[in-house]
């Protein structure tokens, strides 16, 4: 990933919609954003068109953008490189459930690491953190259920 030269100044609390789709919304943060984008490309070739939202900051959290995009697709998938327990996706799921529950067409799905200590070995860490293949499989299974 290339990093531009010079100062990079941006506003905190502004999520960025990186890809528009009508079937599901993938919400990701940090290192999971490129994986969510790649998964969305693969899913599109299988007929599932996904919006991808880069959260960019958790505090403040841009709930306006996230709620708008989830409301438009009716489906929310969070992609997190942290364990499911006490992750940011749980808080986001709570907000979506409270604010736009009746706009949802299916259950909220959180794609996370298993509830284990994160391995130090590269190969094991790669197995634990959500991969493009796991994102594609999880979204496909949920959308086709």
Closest CA to 77 of 8, 13, 12, 137: 137
In which region does residue 42 sit, left (phi positive, over 0), alpha (psi from -120 to 50) or beta (all else)?
alpha
pLDDT of residue 6: 82
Q: Give the domain ranges of the chain.
A: 16-135
Quick one: CA torsion of 144, 88, 70, 54, rounded to 10 degrees? -100
- At residue 125, the pLDDT reads 81
The mean of the pLDDT values for the chain is 93
CATH number of 16-135: 3.40.50.920
pTM assigned to the model: 0.91
79 pLDDT exceeds 90? yes
Q: What is the pLDDT of residue 71?
A: 98
């Amino acid at each position: 990933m290339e990093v531009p030269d010079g100062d990079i100044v941006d506003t905190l609390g502004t999520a960025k919609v990186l890809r528009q789709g009508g079937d599901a919304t993938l919400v990701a943060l940090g290192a999971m954003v490129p994986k969510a984008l790649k998964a969305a490309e693969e899913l599109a070739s299988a007929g599932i068109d996904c919006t991808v939202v880069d959260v960019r900051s958790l505090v403040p959290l841009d709930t306006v953008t996230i709620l708008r995009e989830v409301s438009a697709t009716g489906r929310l998938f969070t992609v997190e490189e942290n364990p499911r327990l006490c992750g940011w996706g749980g808080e986001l799921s709570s907000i979506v459930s409270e604010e736009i529950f009746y706009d949802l067409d299916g259950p909220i799905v959180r794609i996370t690491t298993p509830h284990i200590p994160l391995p130090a070995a590269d190969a094991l860490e790669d197995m634990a953190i959500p991969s493009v293949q796991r994102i594609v499989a999880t979204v496909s299974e949920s959308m086709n259920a």
